[in-house]
Structure 1
Amino acid sequence: MPQLNEPKLIAGNANLPLAEAIARRMTMHRGVHTGLVDARVERFNDAEIFVEVYENVRGEDMFIIQSTSNPANDNLMELLVMSDALRRSSAARITAVIPYFGYARQDRRTKARTPITAKLVANMLVGSGIERILTMDLHAAQIQGFFDIPVDNLYASPVFALDIISRFQGQMDELMVVSPDVGGVARARELAKRINSPLSIVDKRREKPGEVAEMNIIGEVEGKICLIVDDICDTAGTLCKAAEVLMENGAKEVHAYISHGVLSGPAVERITKSVMSSLVITDSIQPTEPVMGAHNIRIVPTAPVFAQAILNIWNGTSVSSLFEQDTLTPIYETLYPGIR
């Protein structure tokens, strides 16, 4: 597949530090300076979003870096308006890099007279001129089918596996991967295979949304270092309760590996006061000051894998190669020296 002129990055306001880190990594990989396209993304007094691109992007391969995290509606609208601006500026191709895909939890009708908002968002993105989506750990993998354009869904589990191998050297035989619910078993099993660990499941019963009435552990966790694996941590109520139940069942330590740290409301306070030794999240959502200051929350960077994925898309080479730990190890070797 022939290359387009240049890969050019433009960022909204959702997660500028991540966008800048991706640009730095691309510069390092290519040996050619890659910066963010000079543009302004701002709001009028009535909160309308306005975008102006100051550089020529005609015929360029454009990548918009924008998570649709809190405030979800504002960040989604920024993404749509940026895409429209680039399309009207004759960009050759527009790829939306959405590290955290908001509204993904509304992927089906759970009751009568409710929307499938994830599908609505997909329609809006395609209608704005976006021709490809690059994201990470979609809440429901079948959301890829909501789009009639290519969707590349990266996974955090290979990066988490590198972190676990580095952090728990000499203790790998004591690890137990835990799925916090039956619906997350496939995700937890994927990580368990990568680190060659057994799998346990927390069976939770809800009386009403947001409230867990009962939790039971499927599997033997006594004396184990338990690693809870999930894609999203919002208010952290269920996560902290699961950690308590694991400790009550004889777990030696409890750590959590969560792809997207939404961490809204009382989440940070709950986590800092919980029995969890650590919560590891990615920077797909820009961390707040309380998150940065929490003693038991650690952040794993995603810029290396996103930078390489962008370059692979630009070059027309495989993105799925980044699902393999062997491919990611050289990319993360400065973070995890000695990992093989």
Structure 2
Amino acid sequence: MIVPGSESQALGAALAAETGEPLAAVRYERFPDGERMASVEVPADADRAVVVAATTTDAAHVELLQLQDAVREAGVEEVVTVLPYMGYGRQERAFEPGQPVSARAVARAISTGTDRVVLVDPHEASVTDCFDVPCDVVRAASRLATPLPGGLTDPLFLSPDAGAVSLAESVRDAYGRGAVDYFDKVRHSGTEVEITPGDAAVEGRDVVVVDDIVATGTTMSESIAVLDDRAAAAVYVACVHPLLARAARTKLERAGVEAIYATDTIERDVTAVSVAPALADAL
């Protein structure tokens, strides 16, 4: 059965439809003192539970642990935990003395209630080593080609840096045509960063900027502005995880983005395609 967290209800339903497994009835409640209580109706014959929960907040982490424990308490033999988006996943190391490795701390807690973990495009590949149970990675960037307009003009797929070129390549390959390049970033000071779109000419071309996460939107909006200055025809944003924290959406709109396309690893109004088919293959 598929057990959705409150932040992943649409993805849970899509995964249930994709796999043919039943979608569990889940209740998300609060006690008067603010404590959460997530509970699951577990059929007597259920032998496996796939808990699907994006942990975008601290509360979502607690809810995930409760869902894991609830199905264990009901006697389910195998628990698989799908983290479409793993909160704290970018804190995979201690950045200064005295700081925690937060990804490891969170991963260890999650590991206690599951037999296996599945991640979708983690920002840092090394985060898989933080879990005490087997951890698999699903690559879903290619799914972002589906919602893109079919008639893009001489399309150019740009990644935010050289290390993320594979994301742009995945989307380009799935789209079927276009070139790939990446932004060069030159830091002049602690606050001043110069962004240039590599060697590719952008004038008159439709550009798709591909990233795994759009968080605050600052770098992405600056990238869009640079492309606009260079007379790109239209600029689209495609991202796996649309965190869109604070004023990110406003920044992108003010920068002149044509459209934003994202998956349902984090359910937002820009979600345009589901990662459920890729997850189903991994399950």
Using the size of structure 1 for normalisation, the TM-score is: 0.75
Task: Give the 5 Å matches for 1:172-251.
Answer: 174-194=154-174, 195-206=176-187, 207-208=189-190, 211-220=191-200, 221-251=202-232
Pick one of 113, 127, 139 that aligns with 1:155. 139
Aligned-partner Cα distance in 2 for 1:38–1:281: 27
Aligned-partner Cα distance in 1 for 2:8–2:271: 17
**By how many angstroms is 1:245 displaced?**
0.6
Is 1:15 aligned to residue 2 of structure 2?
A: no
**By how many angstroms is 1:196 displaced?**
4.6
- Structural RMSD (CA): 2.3
SS in 2 for 1:15: helix
Task: Give the 5 Å matches for 1:46-65.
Answer: 46-57=33-44, 60-65=47-52
**By how many angstroms is 1:193 displaced?**
4.5
Assess if the C-alpha contact under 8 Å between 1:278 and 1:298 holds in 2: no
Q: Which amino acid aligns with 1:260?
A: H
Aligned-partner Cα distance in 2 for 1:41–1:92: 23
Task: Give the 5 Å matches for 1:92-171.
Answer: 92-127=77-112, 129-164=113-148, 167-169=149-151, 171=152
Aligned-partner Cα distance in 1 for 2:124–2:234: 29
Assess if the C-alpha contact under 8 Å between 2:68 and 2:114 holds in 1: yes
Q: Which amino acid aligns with 1:276?
A: V
Aligned-partner Cα distance in 2 for 1:203–1:135: 28
- Which blocks of at least 5 consecutive residues in structure 1 are unaligned? 1-7, 28-33, 314-340
Cα shift readout 1:207-254 (whole Å, capped 9, x = no counterpart): 44xx55322231122332211110111121111110111222232221
The verdict on how the C-alpha distance between 1:59 and 1:279 changes in structure 2, with shifts beyond 3 A counting, is: closer
The verdict on how the C-alpha distance between 1:76 and 1:197 changes in structure 2, with shifts beyond 3 A counting, is: same
Aligned-partner Cα distance in 2 for 1:216–1:23: 43
The verdict on how the C-alpha distance between 1:305 and 1:190 changes in structure 2, with shifts beyond 3 A counting, is: closer
SS in 2 for 1:280: strand
Report the structure, 1 or 2, having the larger helix content.
1
Assess if the C-alpha contact under 8 Å between 1:136 and 1:154 holds in 2: yes
Q: Which amino acid aligns with 1:109?
A: A
Aligned-partner Cα distance in 2 for 1:212–1:189: 29
Assess if the C-alpha contact under 8 Å between 1:258 and 1:281 holds in 2: yes
Pick one of 300, 303, 306 that aligns with 2:276. 303
SS in 2 for 1:41: strand
Aligned-partner Cα distance in 1 for 2:274–2:192: 32
Pick one of 270, 275, 278 that aligns with 2:256. 275
Task: Give the 5 Å matches for 1:261-340.
Answer: 261-287=242-268, 292=269, 297=270, 299-306=272-279, 308-309=280-281, 313=283
The verdict on how the C-alpha distance between 1:95 and 1:212 changes in structure 2, with shifts beyond 3 A counting, is: farther
Aligned-partner Cα distance in 2 for 1:102–1:15: 14
Aligned-partner Cα distance in 1 for 2:141–2:3: 27
Q: Which amino acid aligns with 1:36?
A: L
Pick one of 59, 67, 75 that aligns with 2:60. 75
Q: Which amino acid aligns with 1:249?
A: R
Task: Give the 5 Å matches for 1:248-263.
Answer: 248-263=229-244
Assess if the C-alpha contact under 8 Å between 1:58 and 1:92 holds in 2: no
